[in-house]
Amino acid sequence: MKMVSIYDTTLRDGSQTEGISYSLQDKINIVKRLDSIGIDFIEGGWPFSNPKDTQLFAHFKKKKLKKSKLVPFGSTARWGKAASMDKNLLALIKTGTEYVTIFGKSWDLHVKTVLKISLDDNVKLISDSVKFLKKKGKKVFYDAEHFFDGYKANPKYALKTVLAAQEAGAELIVFCDTNGGILSWEIEQIIKEAQAAGVKGFGIHCHNDLGFALANSLVAVNLGASQVQGTINGYGERCGNADLIAAMGILKFKMNRGLAASKKISDLTELSHFVSEVSNMAHRDSYPLVGRSAFAHKGGVHIDAMIKNPLAYEHMNPSLVGNHRRFLVSELAGKASLVAKAKELEYDLDKKSPKAKRLHKRIQELEKQGYHFEAAEGSFKLLLKKEFKEYRKFFDLLGFKVSVEKREDNSLISEAAIKLKVKGKLQHTAAEGDGPVNALDNALRKALLGVYPSLSKMHLADFKVRVLDDKTGTAAKVRVLIESQDTKESWATVGVSENIIEASWQALVDSVEYKLLKDSKNN
């Protein structure tokens, strides 16, 4: 089994994602999580250009990692000064790490128009920079920036640059598709020609501007690359980098490559969610291997076959990467999916039973009205509880009023007043909120908290509205999906009405009732 090392650059390339801004503590937390998985190399950032990265390396100088190696990133020396005097290279040495990574120019266009030095001078910069770092006892990864574009423009020169780094003592030449515009068959041809020209150990670093980053990385591994560089969830500038989560799963289970993180490969789904949470980015349902929809089945024919043999419509066991199989319920799926979904939620439902027929008919009726249960498993579970006589009402609504006031300073104030009967007692409360739905949610909780204190541990995580028939304009039906969570899980509920407040109320009530039924079962 050939080993492949994983080089994570989430904290540098990934931090260049639009919308991501890591604090020092965020970076520390991500490093610790990657170390617990056993990622071989973690690129901590560019200490010369970013004081936050300097602090990160100082932190881990005192608190050593258990499995991973932290690596600083920088460039070759600037022209005009000796490598031994270059502040960028000296900053790399100061981090005290075993490995360092530097990048240099492979494309003659960059040498001529960006660096504005001669082609030979650039080769000398590369060689001198690597030699200086080696002399200081560092192991050097050399990132050949724009290598593939450079090779297509001037093959002899691009090869000359990477061979100079190799001869100077670099441990690994990393071929970079920096613009993300190279196709897989071009990658294959160029790497083969580079190998024939004398390039030995090499790694791969691909960007995803054409959607080829992962495929190109795996092509390189198939040709002998011993290192894959990328980011968690494919974060990165523009369209991102190669997704290391998918790469690790494929390398392990599809390409039979050895990984240092092999023993923790079932933690991939959790790792993916963790980094998305710290990055304040939505975790895409469609992520390969670890997305919520990666092993979700909706079609009745698919589900029927899956029940008989999971291999029928799954390329691998989802538990291998920490994910799980899901059966989606809709009017399209039939009773087979209903039975399978019920079983997933620990309900024994016979396909031919009156319960199954009633439930199936009810779902068809509701989805015809605009409800969407595959995205609202909380509301679906309430339907199951009602059919199985496990449902009970926790309160009765006597009425509510919601108002929105725009003031002279242009501020908008929303207020909701609500009347409930809870365990025979009248509750009449009012609360303000950022919007009418938030105000209604606050008022509902305020009325219930004295009787059901566990609601204090629940909050709304997401709120989505969709117009179901835009041709009817402001009179159109809307579907509201609410995602709620507590300290243990998250759940989604749905409401449908021509009135957005009423649709939101339906979803809110389902959300609260789901929480209370769940807590009453556990107590």
Q: What end-to-end distance do the CA atoms of the chain give, in Å?
A: 50
pLDDT of residue 374: 67
pLDDT over 60 at 473, yes or no: no
May I ask the CATH architecture of the domain 5-278?
Alpha-Beta Barrel (3.20)
Return mean pLDDT, the chain.
Answer: 90
Task: Indicate if the pLDDT at residue 380 is higher than 70.
Answer: yes
pLDDT band at 149 (very low <50, low <70, confident <90, very high): very high
Q: What is the mean pLDDT of residues 458-470?
A: 80
Q: What is the rounded CA–CA span in Å between residue 256 and residue 15?
A: 31
- Cα dihedral 79/80/84/90 (nearest 10): -60
Task: Please determine, for residue 505, whether its predicted confidence score (pLDDT) is greater than 60.
Answer: yes
- Concatenate the DSSP letters of all residues of 406-460 into one string: E-TTS-EEEEEEEEEEETTEEEEEEEEESSHHHHHHHHHHHHHTTT-GGGGG-EE
The one-character DSSP state at 241 is B
Question: Rounded to 5 degrees, what angle do the CA atoms 387, 393, 398 make?
Answer: 130
Q: Is the pLDDT of residue 330 over 60?
A: no
Q: What's the pLDDT tens digit per position in 8-46?
A: 999 999 999 999 999 999 999 999 999 999 999 999 999
Q: What is the DSSP letter of 231?
A: B
By DSSP bridging, strand 172-177 and strand 139-145 are: parallel
Q: What is the reported pLDDT for 257?
A: 96
* Nearest alpha carbon to residue 337 among 377, 301, 378: 301
Q: Which residue has the tokens 């969830």?
A: 233
**270: exposed, middle or buried (Cβ count in 10 Å: 0-12, 13-18, 19+):** middle
Share of the chain above pLDDT 90, in %: 64
CB of 288 closer than 8 Å to CB of 294: yes
The fraction of the chain above a pLDDT of 70, given in percent, is 94
267 touches 322 (CB < 8 A): yes
Phi/psi of residue 162, nearest 5 degrees: -75, -30
Pairing of strands 5-8, 41-45: parallel
- Please state the three-class secondary structure of 278-294 as a single string: HCCCCCCCCCCCCCCCC
The residue-averaged pLDDT of 177-201 equals 97
Tens digits of per-residue pLDDT, 249-306? 999 999 999 999 999 999 999 899 889 878 878 778 889 999 878 887 776 666 667 6
Least confident of 15-29, 148-162, 197-211, 218-232: 15-29
What pLDDT score was predicted for residue 237?
95
pLDDT confidence of 485, banded at 50, 70, 90? Answer: confident
Selection from 268, 271, 272, 277 nearest residue 485 by Cα = 277
Q: How far apart are CA 407 and CA 333, in angstroms?
A: 50
Q: How far apart are CA 114 and CA 178, in angstroms?
A: 15
**pLDDT at position 467, please?**
85
Q: Is 90 exceeded by the pLDDT of residue 176?
A: yes
**116-120, 204-208, 431-435, 465-469, range with the lowest pLDDT:** 465-469
Query: If pLDDT is split at 50, 70 and 90, which confidence band does 52 have?
Result: very high
- Residue pLDDT, tens place only, 307-319: 677 777 789 999 8
Out of 12-21, 68-77, 433-442, which region has the weakest mean confidence (pLDDT)?
433-442
Q: What is the CB neighbour count within 10 angstroms for residue 201?
A: 14
Give the pLDDT confidence score for residue 281 in this predicted structure. 83
Read off the pLDDT of residues 248-259 as tens digits, 9 standing for 90 and up: 999 999 999 999
- What residues does each domain of the chain span? 5-278, 296-369
Give the pairing of strands 296-297 and 326-327.
Answer: parallel
Output the six-digit token pair for 422.
């809870």
Cα-flanking dihedrals φ and ψ of residue 172, to 5°?
-150, 135
Half-sphere exposure of 333 toward its Cβ, with a 13 Å CA cutoff? 29
Q: Cα 487 to the chain's mean position, in Å?
A: 20
Kindly report which listed range (219-223, 344-348, 434-438, 475-479) carries the lowest average pLDDT score.
344-348
Three-class SS of residue 5?
A: strand
What integer pLDDT is reported at residue 177 of this predicted model? Answer: 98
